[in-house]
Amino acid sequence: MKQKEENQTIGGIQPSFAVIEKLRRKDKQMSMAEAATLLTNEEYGILSTVGEDGQPYGVPLNYVFKENAIYFHCALAGHKLDNIDNNPKVSFCVVGDVEVLPADFSTNYVSAVVFGVASEVQGTERYNALEWLLEKYSPEFMEEGSKYIEKLDKATKVIKIEIKHIDGKMAPASIKKGSKQ
């Protein structure tokens, strides 16, 4: 896969990831900034891992996109953690603005697929990630949420996906049916 480094910043931060350059349909390629906005705004994504036996596994989960990384929390043990222990390379996909177009045999959408390496985080980074999740999903309950984090602290892992590549695509209504670009 050929890659192109983009020199854009997101929120003043120089990203440490690349946009995959070779999309079959160039008319569907999103900019890095558009992909980052999608990752910031969507409510859930699908984490894809591979098991020791080579079996793919995809699981929906809540997440937060901050400091050019994806963070999520989970239990102390489970299928996705077993897979990450076996192979920390993962992908993470979000899809938004979905509109099925029955008469056109098509669908409008925006999507971002992240390729990266997952690892557990500790200390300040872990606490920050939990706070960011709280701000994203329960902003009106910050005080209660902080107490909840303290209460369940020892029963929670926080995983970071260090982004290596990102591929953003969209299929807006303005793309003509049958166009081959």
CATH number, position 16: 2.30.110.10
Please report whether residue 143 resides in a domain: yes
Evaluate whether residue 15 is within a structural domain: yes
Domain membership of residue 29 (yes or no) is yes
In a domain, 177, yes or no: no
What pLDDT, on the 0 to 100 scale, is given for residue 14?
A: 46
Q: CA–CA separation, 165 vs 79, rounded Å?
A: 24
Q: How many domains does the chain have?
A: 1
179 domain residue, yes or no = no
Hey, which bits of 43-134 come out as E strands? 45-50, 56-61, 64-66, 69-74, 89-101, 106-120
End-to-end CA distance of the chain: 19
pLDDT in tens, the chain (181 residues): 444 444 444 444 444 554 445 667 777 888 889 999 999 999 999 999 999 999 999 999 999 999 999 999 999 999 999 999 999 999 999 999 999 999 989 889 999 999 999 999 999 999 999 999 999 999 999 999 899 988 888 899 999 999 999 989 988 754 444 433 3
What is the distance between the alpha carbons of residues 114 and 164, in angstroms, rounded to a whole number?
8
Position 111 in a domain? yes
pTM to 2 decimals? 0.82
Q: Are 72 and 59 in contact (CB under 8 A)?
A: no
In contact, 90 and 59? CB cutoff 8 Å: no
Residue 34 in any domain: the answer is yes
Is 176 a domain residue?
no
Task: Domain of residue 118: give its range.
Answer: 3-170
Report the distance separating Cα 126 and Cα 146, nearest Å. Answer: 13
